[in-house]
Amino acid sequence: MKLPLRYYGHADLRTKAKPIDTITPEIRQLAADMIETMIEHNGVGLAAPQVGQLVRMFIRRFEGVNAEGEYYLGPPEVILNPVLTQPSKETTTQVEGCLSVPGVLVHVERPRKIHLRYQNLEGAWIEEEIEDFKARVTMHENDHLNGTLHIDRAEAAERRNIEPLLSSIKKKHNFTS
């Protein structure tokens, strides 16, 4: 079932999510609904707070190019209770967007590599070293679990430039605070 998105200005996007203690049928259904929602919106990631669920879960998928040179998005992965450590000193800056802040693209500097430890839907703990786009998507979605948006990582001048767009999003979705 496609879930309604939370948009810039909604308090859920600024609330720290709680760990998932038990993987219940409801958590599995939330994961399936989040996958459907992310695909429907053509996203590469979606965090639970973006759909009003304040639990430490996100969905991610990655870009690829097949043997014929065609672009594709890979299968969705469910990430529970992520822990990110060991960010590289080397960083990259790229433009990021967000389903909850539609139409607002900003330059975000992030570590190029990071270590990720998380649980899958079977409850197994997985560890991986990730880099480049995979690391960027993972850090972006993990930020949502901590109440941080990509716009918070923009430089001050760029942030000032997007303020009118942010105000219009708040107004459109009836958030006045």
pLDDT in tens, 122-160: 999 999 999 999 999 999 999 999 999 999 999 999 999
Distance (Å, rounded) from C-alpha 85 to C-alpha 4?
Answer: 31
pLDDT band at 87 (very low <50, low <70, confident <90, very high): very high
Q: What does each C-alpha distance from 151 to 8, 37, 163, 172 come to in angstroms? A: 10, 22, 10, 18
- pLDDT-derived band at 73 (thresholds 50, 70, 90) equals confident
Exposed/middle/buried for 157, CB within 10 Å: 0-12, 13-18, 19+?
Answer: exposed
Q: Which amino acid is at 129?
A: E
Q: Assess contact for 27 and 57: CB atoms under 8 A.
A: yes
What's the whole-number mean pLDDT along residues 61-74? 88
What whole-number distance in Å separates Cα of residue 156 and Cα of residue 139? 20
Catalytic residue numbers, as ranges: 141
Residue 79 above 70 pLDDT?
yes
Across all residues in the chain, what is the average pLDDT? 95
Q: Where are the extended beta strands (E) located within 19-62?
A: 45-47, 57-60
Mean pLDDT on 101-105:
96
How far, in Å, CA of 75 to CA of 17, rounded?
A: 25
Mean pLDDT of the 14-33 span: 98
